[in-house]
């Protein structure tokens, strides 16, 4: 990012707004102010590498939640901000500065108020074995339920989790769907020949997506991680210190998820699955 830019590619974005969108300087300054705030919020709250290419629709939704719940902005104002952010990512896409437009699923704030998150599904994982799910889906749900973050999934090996699987049926299922021919300690997400871990999350997510109509859960990795976290944060009997340790959260991220508890419509898995 240019040192003079308030956010990535600001100078090029300003030129695009002027010559392609024919916006006046006042409008551009207003948009830039919103994008500056959005980028600062993302930098302060992002998990992992901070790169404009890694922005997802969930990151923008987090920012909208902040504007609505914490800053108490009006719905009309927030929706105007959404249009500015969409314009920025349209520019980035058209200029080939990011790989693809990431905000296809972004909706206005009135939609966000009705967002439902299914929580407390972890104890029902053994019962899900009877639903005909792909093994990759069961593995993903298991690792998320054990607290692993999206970046840790491909690093997890059998002996690391074996003693933490307390249901005999679930443990037997995982053993059945691992290849122990080359090692007694295979990766949970391994290559078909058992020779090391698969390269990317996308390699197993293709199978997981096939099960999205079977479970009343959003099976994207980030949403499963979110529902796992909110299952704990919504429990008022748990202390902040316990939550930060158990969920691997900073105090700032814990405060954010506490805000989400009051913002989202949380429904238990059993209630949703009826």
Q: What phi-psi label fits residue 132: left (phi over 0), alpha (psi between -120 and 50 degrees) or beta?
A: left
Interacting residues of 266 by C-beta distance below 8 A, sequence separation 6+: 116, 117, 119, 230, 234
Q: CA distances (Å), 249 to each of 102, 123, 175, 227, 245, in order?
A: 26, 22, 31, 14, 7
- DSSP 8-state secondary structure symbol assigned to residue 149: -
Q: What is the structure's pLDDT at 149?
A: 92
- pLDDT of 125 > 80? The answer is yes
**pLDDT per residue as tens digits for the range 136-184:** 999 999 999 999 999 999 999 999 999 999 999 999 999 999 999 999 9
The Cα 121–Cα 69 span in angstroms is: 26
pLDDT bucket at 112, cuts 50 / 70 / 90? very low
Burial 71-85 (b: 16+ CB within 10 A, else e): eebeeeebeebbebb
């Amino acid at each position: 990012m240019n040192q003079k830019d308030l956010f990535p590619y600001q100078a090029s974005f300003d030129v695009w707004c002027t010559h392609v969108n024919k916006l006046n300087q006042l409008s551009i300054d207003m948009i830039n102010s919103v994008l500056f705030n959005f980028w600062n919020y993302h930098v302060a709250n992002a998990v992992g590498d901070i790169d404009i290419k890694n922005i997802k629709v969930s990151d923008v939704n987090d920012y909208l939640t902040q504007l609505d719940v914490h800053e108490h902005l009006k719905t009309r104002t927030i929706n105007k901000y959404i249009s500015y952010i969409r314009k920025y990512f349209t520019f980035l896409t058209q200029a080939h500065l990011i790989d693809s437009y990431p905000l296809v699923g972004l909706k206005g704030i009135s939609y966000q108020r009705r967002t439902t998150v299914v929580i407390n599904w972890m104890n029902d994982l053994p019962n899900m074995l009877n639903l005909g799910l792909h093994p990759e889906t069961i593995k993903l749900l298991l690792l998320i339920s054990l607290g692993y973050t999206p970046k840790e999934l491909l690093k997890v090996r059998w002996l690391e989790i074996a003693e933490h699987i307390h249901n005999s049926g679930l443990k037997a299922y995982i053993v059945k769907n691992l290849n122990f021919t080359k090692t007694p300690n295979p990766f949970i997400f391994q290559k078909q020949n058992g020779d090391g871990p698969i390269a990317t999350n996308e390699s197993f997510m293709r199978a997981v997506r096939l099960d999205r109509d079977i479970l009343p859960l959003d099976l994207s990795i980030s949403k499963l991680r979110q529902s796992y976290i909110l299952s704990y944060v919504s429990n008022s009997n748990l202390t902040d210190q316990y939550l930060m340790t158990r969920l691997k959260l900073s105090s700032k991220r814990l405060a954010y998820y506490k805000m989400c508890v009051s913002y989202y419509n949380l429904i238990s898995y059993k209630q949703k699955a009826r």
